[in-house]
Structure 1
Amino acid sequence: MPEATDGPAYLVVRNSEEQHSILAVGKPLPKGWQPAGFEGSKTACLEHIDAVWTDLRPLSLRRSLA
């Protein structure tokens, strides 16, 4: 089934460990998650995450290894 293109449907969100996910627009943010500044179709949001979340290790692990 093709995706609807009539407007944003998803929001990219990020937690304090800099892990990313998507959330349907209009849904309440889960505790600990904040908007990451990108909104669009599911495909566009996932492509954005692929582009910006290049190190999948949690922030606390990256800091401990630095």
Structure 2
Amino acid sequence: MKVQLQYLNDKEGNLTAVQIPIEDWKKLEKRIEKYEQAFQVKEDLTAAFQEVEQMRAGKLPKQTLSDFLNEL
């Protein structure tokens, strides 16, 4: 995705902001949302696998499938 950028500078010439067309921004927002969702799934799976390891090690009580589904 090629984005047209416009840079804004203050009176000393320091870069202060970047502008992009609104359509590009909308596309970026959609992409960011998809990445956030994928990241959340990864975090949830990592936590689930850690819980399973703790259950196998006897550090957490084991859970039945019925109990698990009732939590949802």
Normalising by the residue count of structure 1, what TM-score does the alignment of the two structures yield? 0.25
Larger helix fraction of residues: 2
Greater relative contact order (CA < 8 Å, ≥ 6 in sequence): 1
Higher radius of gyration, 1 or 2: 2
Normalising by the residue count of structure 2, what TM-score does the alignment of the two structures yield? 0.23
